[in-house]
Amino acid sequence: MVYLVSPIKLVNLLGGIIMSRLMDTDELGRYLKLEKQTIYNWLHQKKISGIKVGHVWRFDKKSVDEWLNSQMVEAKAKI
């Protein structure tokens, strides 16, 4: 169930996602410094998760940050 809290913030009470934290493909591209097509390719390949609202993909910033952290490669110390 979705409620409009204000003209700017949309709250999904089931998922707790606040619209102000959602990014579209352009914003995600700028955030990750990637081309928009790369984001669409990753969605198709299921490398990243998104929420489709109508015909527009949205991405939760917290989920994107968690995904980025999970992709981190740890450096090994030389002995």
pLDDT tens-digit map of 11-59: 454 355 555 588 999 999 999 999 999 999 999 999 998 998 888 999 9
The answer to whether 59 touches 28, Cβ cutoff 8 Å, is yes
Please tell me the predicted confidence (pLDDT) of residue 16.
54
Please tell me the predicted confidence (pLDDT) of residue 43.
93
- Say if pTM beats, i.e. exceeds, 0.75: no
| 9 alpha carbon, distance to own chain's centre | 17
* For residue 7, pLDDT beyond 80: no
